[in-house]
Amino acid sequence: MRELQVKIIAEMGVRPTIDPAEETRRRVTFLKDYLKASRTKGFVLGISGGLDSTVAGKLAQLAVDELEAEGVEANFVAVRLPYKVQHDEDDAQAALKFIDPKTSWTFDVAPAVDGFETEFTTTTGEKITDFNKGNIKARTRMIAQYALAGQHNYLVIGTDHGAESVTGFFTKFGDGGADILPLFGLNKRQNRQLLEHLGAEERLYKKEPTADLLDDQPGRTDEDELGLSYDHIDDYLEGREVPEEVAEAIEHRYLVTRHKRTVPVTIADDWWRN
Ligand SMILES: Nc1ncnc2c1ncn2[C@@H]1O[C@H](COP(=O)(O)OP(=O)(O)OC[C@H]2O[C@@H]([n+]3cccc(C(=O)O)c3)[C@H](O)[C@@H]2O)[C@@H](O)[C@H]1O
Ligand SMILES: Nc1ncnc2c1ncn2[C@@H]1O[C@H](COP(=O)(O)OP(=O)(O)OP(=O)(O)O)[C@@H](O)[C@H]1O
Ligand SMILES: [Mg+2]
């Protein structure tokens, strides 16, 4: 295996094969144990209709069900965070139906995002790019989730996992901003495996991944933007051989996004020097 591949796999915690039942058990137990240790009262998570939030949302609801059965107070708030009307709202509704959360809210991020867009232009005289506005959508979702968590002493769940973390394919302090990451150590196909095991319908576990952050290209696939396939990223993280140019592209993205996987850099850090 490539030297850097070994290092990256260790950092991402991905294993070549998983037992979905065992992974479900470990992760539900982790959510329960951390909630108790942190003396918090529940979890908040944005539900997009995409694969990752459906898996994490189901794990959170299972954890809350078990906590309540044990007499521990716990809530799970599944929150829809559309920007206006989402083009695949039917998938988001299917995800909610499958998760069957204890509490479900809808918070439209459009007024806040559009307010930023207007003020940005007033301040700079520039029209904000669609790409930059997309990151504002992701960060506004983070603010909404923290507002809900702060109000009720809940934890914000993040959906980051190996296949997104390795390429830095998330918004820094946006969807990357969270308190607890129950999908750590899984790649994309392992998340699919978990969701199938959890009993979701096929449209949910086979759903094409999309960040869906752009006004101009709703539902643009992650693979199109990344120029990489999840199959290749997953193979790489399972320690398999991938074409040389694919390995180089993954490693390049890994290296240039290191700053997104650490706390803000300080004068005491030197990881960035090499
Ligand atoms: N070397 C460095 N050291 C420390 N900080 C550095 C830095 N380089 C940039 N930065 C900072 O980081 C910022 C850039 O990072 P960031 O704001 O994240 O922006 P960026 O990485 O440029 O964009 C986010 C990417 O993640 C994708 N995404 C976002 C959200 C969700 C999903 C999804 O799959 O659902 C995907 C999105 O489509 C886009 O490709 C810069 O503006 C700068 O402030
Ligand atoms: N429209 C939305 N409504 C609610 N939450 C959202 C929305 N868009 C993004 N999020 C939150 O941001 C997270 C990151 O988005 P991301 O696209 O990586 O995950 P996903 O949509 O759950 O799955 P996939 O990556 O397969 O599309 C989501 O898991 C979800 O918690
Ligand atoms: Mg998505």
Using the mean position of ligand 2's atoms as its centre, give its distance from the Cα of residue 159 in Å.
8
Amino acid at 34: Y
The per-residue pLDDT for 271 is 83
Taking the domain 16-221, which CATH number applies?
3.40.50.620
Q: 91, 164, 222, 235: which one is catalytic?
A: 164
> Tell me, what DSSP letter sits at residue 265?
P
Name residues of the chain where pLDDT drops below 70.
Answer: none
pLDDT digits (tens, 9 = 90+) for 215-230: 999 999 999 999 999 9
Instruction: Indicate yes or no: pTM above 0.90.
Output: yes
Cβ < 6 A, ligand 2 pocket: 45-48, 50-53, 80-82, 86, 141, 159, 164, 175, 209-211
pLDDT digits (tens, 9 = 90+) for 84-134: 999 999 999 999 999 999 999 999 999 999 999 999 999 999 999 999 999
Domain ranges of the chain: 16-221
The per-residue pLDDT for 50 is 98
The span from the CA of 13 to the CA of 15, in Å, is 7
> Tell me, what DSSP letter sits at residue 223?
H
Cβ < 6 A, ligand 1 pocket: 135, 138, 164, 168-172, 174-175, 211, 213, 222, 225, 259, 265
Q: Is the torsion defined by CA of 131, 132, 134, 135 positive or negative? A: positive
The span from the CA of 55 to the CA of 246, in Å, is 27
Reply yes or no on whether 52 is catalytic.
yes
The per-residue pLDDT for 274 is 77
How far CA 126 is from CA of 24, 103, 116, 122, 243, in Å, comes to 47, 40, 12, 8, 42
Residue 259 marked as a ligand binder: yes
The per-residue pLDDT for 130 is 98
Q: Is the torsion defined by CA of 217, 222, 226, 228 positive or negative? A: negative
